[in-house]
Each structure stands twice: as C-alpha cells, then as structure tokens.
Structure 1
C-alpha cells in the first residue's frame, strides 16, 4: 500500500515538473535560477521522450541557386572592378531577366571606359579615321575657295565673306598658333595704337640730329645685324626702341650711335636665343664707347620704357599677311615673301614712314610685292582684305610711297638693305621692278 502511494506521488511530481517546464518554454520569459527555484523546476535539460526526426530543409532550385551565385560573383567583381576587363562587365549584364542588374552593368561598363580600361589602340585608330575624314572635307572646301579667289578681280573693293579662305585651318607649324591666332591678332591690332613713337619728335624734341642722321644710324645697324646674323625681329624692335626713346628724350649727336648699339643689345636679349655679348657691341663701334657707358645707357632706356618691350612691329603683322596672300596660290612663291620683307625693311630708314601704322606698312608691302610679280591680276582679294583689315583704297598712299623707295626716286645713298636683298639667298629681289607703276592700278 505504501509502495503504490509513493509511486503515485512520484508520478504526480514528475507530471507537475513537466507541465511547469512546458509552460516556461512556451513563454518568452527568460528563466533565471531564482525563478526556477520558486517554480520548483530543474535547470538541467531534460531528454526528449521520443527520438526527434531531423528537420528537412527544402533544396533550392537550379534557377534560384544560379541567381544567388550570380549575386555573390557580381559582388566580388565589383570589389576588384579596376583590375578586370570588359568581359566581367558583360557577364553582369547577362543576368537572367534582371533589369536592375543590366542597368548596373551598363553603368559599370561606362565607369570602366572612363577609367581608361578600354582598348586604346582601337580608340586611336577610330579617332585617326575621323580626323582624316574631317581633313578631306576641309581640303575640298579650301580648294573650292581657292578656285573662286583665283578669278581676276576688277579692281574694286570686295566684301564677299564667302570667298575668304581660312588660313588657320591646316597650318601645322606651332609658331603660327593657329588655334588662337584670331584672338591674338585682335589684341595686336589694338596694341599697335599704344606705345607708338611720335611722328614729329625730330621737330619738337631733337635739336642736334635730323632724319638723315637717323637713317645713317639704322643703315649701319642693318649691317651689324647681318654681321652677327641676328633675326629680323631684332632689327625691327631695335628701331622701335630708338624712336620711342628719342620721342621724349634729347640726344646729342655724339651719343646717337651709343643709343643705337644699346637698343640693339636690349632687342637681342629679348629676341635672340644666343645674344651677342656686351663687349662685342663695344668692339663694333671701334671701342668708341666703354662698357660702363653702354650699361648706363641700357639702364636709362629700360627705366624710361618701364621694360615694355612686347610691342607689335611691322614684322609681327607681315608673317600673317604673307600667309593670307599665299592662301589662294597653288604654289606659294618664295620671291613674294622676300619682296614683302624687302619693302618693309626699306621703310625702317625713312623717318616719314612713322606716320603709318605697322599693320598698314605690312599690308602695303604685300600689296606691292604681289603687284611687282603679277600685273595681270589685282593684288588684293577678299582674304587679304579680311585678315589685314584694310581695303585696297586705304593703302594707296602707303603703297605709292613704298614704290618710290623701291625705285629710289630720291637718290638715297643708304644701300645696306639693297645689298642685303641683292644676295642669291634672297633671290636677288632687290633688282626686281614692275614695268608699270602702281599708280595706274588705283586710277582705273
């Protein structure tokens, strides 16, 4: 009897503990040791009364597995995108039915192209092909314009802008700055009006020298520039510095040659790559002036000019105007270039040409050079009128005065420039003359 009661009481306790444990497990409340002691529940895990079957996990389908693998691979590829080629980006685009992945792939392809991971050789070849097509079109257009401008003009001023040849289209020489030439010469045309020498300083400022002495000095400086093989820009800048200084400073007769060699020294330092030494300029004057005298004059000239040496001269405009004159010629004539330079240099020794602007002298030199070589066609055309900004009628006075220098109607004995351009390397252009005076062209 006792055994039955004790057995039933034990079963009753086990049943209570099991019920309490199940209640606690069903609730989400955390079971602590104090709470378990109050409830009379043991904290040791109880073994299940039956063997629990393992939970079956459904296997993913092939499509879902492929999609998951694609996501993982795409994530890794994006992490090392800078080290891969376009083939990885193409695999991202080929995601099965995923529009967002395709857009993401296109964006990554664009990023790859921007980072320079495209085929460089293929891009270069494509660019070269496009440039060749553009040049073919430009050359065809230029040849068409040249044919139009080649026709004989009737002598009147032409203003048809459609006949103007673009002289900056196919220029490969970097010294012409073809991309910025138009803007540069816009500024130069404005700058030539500033810092111009006085046209009457021989009367207002100078009392000890006259235009003839000035011409003798410049004629001698031409020989000096030939002796040291100086650039023509150096000679033009030298004359400009002399005239600008004498426009406001009185110079004695015995110091005129000192001013000339000093201005050539300054111009050589500005224009030449290897300028002659100071001692050489003293030697060329037969040591008439000492080294200290030349240095003192150099300081005086530079302080007066405030070191403003960047001024447009006739040579500055002459390069561009010669290029415009040869734009419509099938074969450019080197004699025309030499003649234009010859006429421009003849004006350096003449004081009276200070009244003309440098661009006007350069345009007149090209006009007279074309007329000297060809009297059957009018020397002026729309291209020259466009780039020089002068009509043919506006050059009449300058061209006639320049022709007088060519024919030496005044009987000048200054022959340095004529001797220079009578050499074979300049095609002896100093001996060329026109059988008909240019005045007949303006009287038509």
Structure 2
C-alpha cells in the first residue's frame, strides 16, 4: 500500500485528498509534499492567464485598427480636398486629421459656406441675363408664315377660331432664339410657354363675338364634357367625311333593289324600334350601317329585310343597355329568316365594315345644335326639340338626302324648326352660326328640301314617322306647319343675322 502511493507521487500523479495512510506515508518517506493550493485555485490561475493573453491580443488588434483608420481618414481627407479643388472652390488643405466628429462638422460647415458664397453670384448673373433677354422679346413681333396667315384668314371667314396658330408661331420663335442663345434656351421656353397660354386664353375670349353664347359654360354637369366638347365636335366633323356612304350606290351598284324599297325597309324599322323601345341613336346607326354596306356590296331583294334586321341587331348591341336577342328579330320578321342566317349576316356585315361602328350621325350633331338654339330662349322649348328631331328622322327615309352631310341636315332641321315655330324673328343667329360652323346662306338647299318633306309634297304613303310624332308625348309636332314659306327668308337681300 505504501509502495503504490510512493510510485504515484514519484510519477507526478495529480494530487488527491490527504488520507491517514497518505499522511503516514508522507511522513515516513522522503517525497516532497504536494502543493498547499487546491485544484480550484490552479484552475483559477489558468483562467486568469488565458484572459490576460486574450486582453493583450485585443490591445494589439486595436492598435492595428487605429492605425488603419488613421490612414483611411488621411486618404479621404486628400480626396475631399482634391474634389474641392476641381470644383473651383478655394479650400486650404490641412495635414491634421480630425479626431472627433465636432471637428468634422465644423470643417463641413466651412466648406458649405464657401460653396454658397461662390455659387450665389453665378445664379444671380444668370437670372439677370435671362431677365434682360425676356425684356427684349416682343410677343407681337413673332414671325408667322404666309401659310398660317392664309389659314387664319380662312378661319375668320368661317367664324372659326384656330387655337393652334399662336402655338405654331411660338414654336417657330423659340426655335430661332434657341439657335442664337443656346445657353438659356430651356429657361426661355419655360417662361414663354406661360406667356403663350395666356395669349391663347385671351384670344379665345376676344375672338368670340359679344352676341355668341357659350353653351359649354356648364362645368357642373360631368356628362356635358364642357371642357372638351369643342374639340370633340371638331373631330366628329372630320369623321363624318371619312365614314360617309356613297350617294349614288343605287344607280351604280344595286340592280335588284330601288330607293322605294329602301324607304319601305326603313319605315318598317321605325316601327320595330318603337316596338322594342329603342333609343333614337339605334335607328340612326341602323340606317348608316345599311347604306354603308349597300354602297359596296350587291344584295338581292330577298335578303334586304335580313340586312335591315341584322343592322338593327348590331346597332342595338352598340347603343342599347339591354339589346333584343337575335330570336326576337327573327320573330318580328314572322320567322322569315332563321337565327343562323341572322348571325351569318351579322358576321358578314361586321367583317366588311371592319367593326367601324363609331360613326357620327345626324342625331350626334342635333343634340349640340338644339342646345345652341335653346340658348336664345329663357325657358327651354320642348316643341323646338321635338320638331327638329321629327324633321331629322324624315330624312332617313328619303334616299336623296344622302348627298347632304349629317351636320348640314342637323343644322337645317334646327333652322326650319325655329322658322316653323316663329316667323317674327330670323331663325339663325350668331350663336348658331358659331357652333354649327354654317352660315344661313349655306343651308338654303337643305332647308328647302326639308320643307318639301314636311309638307309631303310628293304624297309619300309611308307614315310611320308622322304617326310617331303625332303622339301627345312629342307635343304633336307632326301637325305643325308654317304660315309663310321658308324661301322668303333667303330672298331677303343682306338680311342681318340677329
């Protein structure tokens, strides 16, 4: 037992708890007694040593980092100074590296002050030069081409104000000045654009006659499109020329049908529109589609009614909220045509017209022209509105009215309606001339032809439209007649337009 303990101590075994046997053995042997410090104290010493070494390593890395940041700040300082020199700003470079944020903020404030002091005089010089240039500009001396002068004179003759003329002159003037002064051309455009907008507004106000009533002044009604109505109707005037049917297709193309057969078909379609309570726009669009199709496609008389109901089906889908079905149009023809035939004809018509269904009709212009005519009344006259619509629908039946534009027919209907209701005043005024773009002399032939329709001089037996407007809901305007012929208005020489 003693021998084992002695060998354990001699081989440097870790010290253990002192027992009686070990104390006796230590006392008798010559071995060195173990250290008086316990194992926990030794571990504590090792832990402190490792912390101290780690602390020394951190100190070394911190020194390296500080030296790196020092070099980095020095490099940034040099770059900042060089960039300021390139921007023509006088800054005295310092070799001392700022150690605190306070020093950096002071330095940046100083740089900003120097930059502002140097830049402000440049801006003031630019403003003064721009003011001098603008003071020399005279808007009245803007060069305008001879072509623009001719266009302006034509527009004055027709009572039309072309608002694009000042804009064109403005663009030419700016282009000339930008070549001379390229330095401040952009600033000149900005200021001159404001001047030109004011000029356009002033011109639009001054160019109108004092007697012309602005029918687009009702900005509260969003459906009136008051801001865009003049431009919309300018585009519609162009569209009525592009989508116009042929005026002589009966003589040139159609050999199996006649104008009388066309009149019978349209008179029957008027009754169909009343049966299904369709809006007037559907009827006008139906007639337009029929005439446009017949202008380029030959058709037999057995299929003429099929073409009529198919065009009304297409117009109903375009104009109506709840359009009648194809079966209903088959039923209205006493099942003369099947649903398949109607759908096949619908596909043929749409493909031939390339789905161009947005066309201006007489009803499109009639709404605006009636609004212009109502401006001369203190209270809106319902008889005027119904009578003008009655005259316009009468022209749908007559094939000879294809030679007149829809806008011309609408203006003539308003003219004759005003004359029929009152012969004391001239039926045309400056407001109607301004908004319709027609003078009274330009309406003469159309108004005389309309008067013949109203009086039924040819004794036409087709009376669907006449019976429609004899109803009380239309104020029985079909019974109205004028005591004086309208031709007397045009026979007056130099009659002033009130």
TM (normalized to structure 2)? 0.57
SS of aligned partner of 1:263: helix
* Alignment of 1:343 onto 2:377: no
Given candidates 322, 325, 333, the residue that maps to 1:285 is: 333
The answer to whether residue 280 in structure 2 is matched with residue 241 in structure 1 is no
Asked if residue 194 in structure 1 is aligned to residue 242 in structure 2, the reply is: yes
Q: What is the aligned partner in structure 2 of residue 433 from structure 1? A: 481
The separation in 1 between residues aligned to 2:226 and 2:278, in whole angstroms, is 26
CA–CA distance in structure 2, aligned partners of residues 249 and 174 of structure 1: 41
Rounded Cα–Cα distance in structure 1 between residues aligned with 2:463 and 2:221: 34
Q: Distance in 2 between the 1:372 and 1:171 partners?
A: 32
Alpha-carbon separation, structure 2, partners of 1:241 and 1:274? 20
Q: What's the CA shift string for 1:137-165, capped at 9, x where partnerless?
A: xxxxxxxxxxxxxxxxxxxxxx9722110
User: Would you say the 8 A contact 1:208–1:253 is kept in 2?
Assistant: yes
Q: Quick check: 1:211 aligned with 2:259?
A: yes
Which residue of the other structure, out of 346, 359, 369, is the alignment partner of 1:321? Answer: 369
- Matching residue of 1:304: 352
Largest Rg, 1 or 2 = 2
Question: What is the aligned residue count?
Answer: 287
Equivalence for 2:324: 276
CA offsets 1:403-440 (integer angstroms, 9 cap, x no match):
00000000000100000000000000000000100011
TM-score, normalization by structure 1:
0.64
- Between the aligned partners of 1:311 and 1:259, the Cα distance in structure 2 is 19
Q: How far does residue 332 in structure 1 lie from its aligned partner after superposition?
A: 1.4
1:162 to 200, 207, 210: 210
Alignment map for 1:4-403 (pairs within 5 Å): 161-170=209-218, 172-403=220-451
Q: Secondary structure in 2 aligned to 1:192? A: helix
Once the 2 structures are TM-superposed, how far is the Cα of residue 171 of structure 1 from its aligned partner?
Answer: 5.5
Do the aligned partners of 1:160 and 1:382 also contact (CA within 8 Å) in 2? no
Check the 8 A contact 2:290/2:308 in 1, yes or no.
yes
Question: Does the 8 Å CA contact 1:238/1:267 hold for their aligned counterparts?
Answer: yes
Gaps of 5+ in 1: 1-31, 33-158
2:415–2:427 Cα contact (<8 Å) kept: yes
Residue 239 of structure 2 contacts residue 360 of structure 2 at CA under 8 Å; is this kept in 1? yes
Shift of 1:194: 0.5
Q: Is the 8 A contact 1:202 1:210 kept in 2?
A: yes
Q: Does 1:414 align with 2:462?
A: yes
2:257 & 2:292 partners in 1: Cα distance? 15
Inter-partner Cα distance in structure 1 for 2:244 and 2:218: 34
Deviation of 1:289 after TM superposition, in Å, equals 0.2
Find the aligned partners of 1:262 and 1:388 in 2 and give their Cα distance.
33
Shift of 1:331: 1.1
> Which structure carries more relative contact order (alpha carbon 8 Å, separation 6+)?
1
